[in-house]
Amino acid sequence: MIRLSISFLLIIINSISVLAQINIPDEVKQPIPELSNGILVVDDFEDDMVGKLPDRWYNRDVKNAANEPEESRYYSYFIDEVCNNKYLHYEGTDARHLNFPLKERENLNIYETPILSWKWRVKQIPEGGNELENHKNDAAASIYVVFDMGRVALFKKVPKSIRYTWSSTLEKGSENSIFYGNQKIVVLESGSENIGEHWITVEQNIVEDYRRLFGDDPPARPLAILILSDGNSVNDTAEADYDDIMFKSLDQRLIKNTKQ
């Protein structure tokens, strides 16, 4: 079990580490689409094809878009549509994250738009999932914000990241720390209490969260946003939807954890 745990750690660490180092495709250097009111829309999935992976998300090392044939078979995400709204749907157990690179998006400065906003809903949690235990590390839904390298851990530099999660078992509102303190886990929802058909909108001030969790100021631009749903560790199906991932200014913050 210890060997498994270490290898899992290294997969995540390596996949995040590589974000800081590689030459990334030109497409991921495009500015984030900006509304007339200044809101930056990372993705609302409206331009994507139903049944396919989203166009603008990449594999873990940003070599290939997730929707390219050699990649897509590994993923359990696809675009779904209800009432003329497209969104990202996950259903399965596979533990592959989708990666939206931010490193080269020159119109993003999180001191101007510190509110990371999205909506999500969960229809099934992986029973027994626990983000703090590597052999149970599953979550119905989670969004990571990955920042540049933190302190050196053992022989590796480990990026700092905040994982906002819908946990199966961790207490709602709790904050935890793993990967030598460089990954913070913020539990926004827990268990089955709020699962179902209703969307829940989240607005997190990632500058404030970073300062509170890491004790210093974040870089103005994170490396990436990652989406991860999985159930492979406890071998139970997870089912979740994601939509409307945006950066907003403080003035544009409307609601917090409100059911729609």
Question: What contacts 68, CB < 8 A, 6 or more positions away?
Answer: none
Question: What contacts 150, CB < 8 A, 6 or more positions away?
Answer: 157, 158, 159, 160, 181, 182, 214
Best CA proximity match to 28, nearest among 36, 38, 19: 19
> Considering only residues 174-203, where is the footprint of Ca ion by CB under 5 A?
none
**Interacting span for Ca ion (CB under 5 A) from 24-32, 73-81, 152-160, 225-233:** 225-233
Say which amino acid occupies 138. D
Residues facing residue 246 across a β-bridge: 41, 117
> Considering only residues 22-61, where is the footprint of Ca ion by CB under 5 A?
44-45
Question: Per rule CB under 5 A, is residue 15 in the interface with Ca ion?
Answer: no
Q: Which is nearer to Ca ion, 87 or 210 (CB)?
A: 87
Least separation in angstroms between residue 43's CB and Ca ion is 8
Residues touching Ca ion: how many (CB under 5 A)? 12
**Interacting span for Ca ion (CB under 5 A) from 19-27, 65-73, 107-115, 236-244:** 236-244
Q: Are 177 and 110 in contact (CB under 8 A)?
A: no
State the Cα–Cα distance between residues 91 and 98, nearest whole angstrom: 14
Site track 86-125 with Ca ion (rule: CB under 5 A), x = hit: xx-------x------------------------------
State the Cα–Cα distance between residues 52 and 38, nearest whole angstrom: 29
Of 233, 238, 246, 247, which one interacts with Ca ion (CB under 5 A)?
Answer: 233
Residue ranges binding Ca ion (CB under 5 A): 44-45, 85-87, 95, 137-138, 230, 232-233, 243
